[in-house]
Amino acid sequence: MREIPVYNLSGEKVGSENVQIDDFQPNMDVLHRYVVAFLANQRQGNASTKTRSDVSGSGRKPWRQKGTGRARVGSIRSPIWRHGGIVFGPKNRDYHQSLPEKMKNAALKDSLKTRIVEDRLILVNISDDEIKQPKTKIFSSFLKKIGLSENKILVVLNKNFQSRNELVKCIRNIENVSYCYAERINPYIVLTHDCIIAQSEVFPFLTNICCGERNV
């Protein structure tokens, strides 16, 4: 059983939530394969160069083969000439890697469980009144009070929160703090952040991922 602390925006502990997770060893192979595939899928693959058949220029032989004293040349589009073609340069390609749905689910489950077991998941209660006038200072002072101002933080938001736009304005200008909605969470952003701060409303969603089934 793991206890997840619940804070308010003033930095005061107002309660806790429990989740049934025993000590476990994450499947590092699955996590590694997910991260590799995720990063590969971010690549656009649109780098391209022109070969000697693509560059502009005449196909005529610049000068006769013998008798000029110069090196023999067959085309001005030769790669050894200025403005010539590129040899073995990059061309458009697709770097996409597909993973089974079960592997994606397992990677997300293990990444979240790892943060919970390491006591790096914190819940926060946020009311509409506290962020009527959104300011970066509101959330930065909250991080200082709970001792996480120097960490790389991922804030998981409730998409249906009435004042979500005001909350985003409080977060987005803080260095080393990122945010995402609960429905868009993935193993890569969980693993690349030191700590997760989630709204209390999304805790059932996260526990369902850790203890149940979810399609990614």
Domains in the chain, please, with CATH?
Answer: 2-42+97-211 (3.40.1370.10), 44-94 (no CATH)
What pLDDT does residue 212 have?
67
pLDDT band of residue 216 (cuts 50, 70, 90) is very low
Kindly report, residue by residue over 53-77, the tens digit of the pLDDT: 999 999 899 999 999 999 999 999 9
Mean pLDDT, to the nearest integer, of 37-65? 94
Radius of gyration of the chain (CA): 27
3-class DSSP state for residue 50? coil
Helix boundaries (H) for 28-135? 28-42, 101-117
Nearest of 180, 187, 148, 143 to residue 164 by alpha carbon: 180
Token couple for 14: 């107002």
The yes-or-no verdict on residue 162 having pLDDT over 90 is: no
Sign of torsion over alpha carbons 191, 194, 199, 203: positive
Full-prediction pTM beyond 0.85? no
What pLDDT does residue 110 have?
94
Identify the weakest region by mean pLDDT among 23-27, 59-63, 81-85: 23-27
Identify the weakest region by mean pLDDT among 15-29, 32-46, 105-119, 132-146: 15-29
What pLDDT does residue 145 have?
92
Torsion of CA 132, 136, 137, 141, to 10 degrees: 110
Edge-first strand order for the sheet with 121-125 is: 13-19, 2-8, 121-125, 195-199, 153-157, 177-181
3-class DSSP state for residue 150? coil
DSSP 8-state assignment for residue 189: H
Kindly report, residue by residue over 180-215, the tens digit of the pLDDT: 999 999 999 999 999 999 999 999 999 988 876 544
Kindly report, residue by residue over 89-138, the tens digit of the pLDDT: 999 999 999 999 999 999 999 999 999 999 999 999 988 888 888 899 99
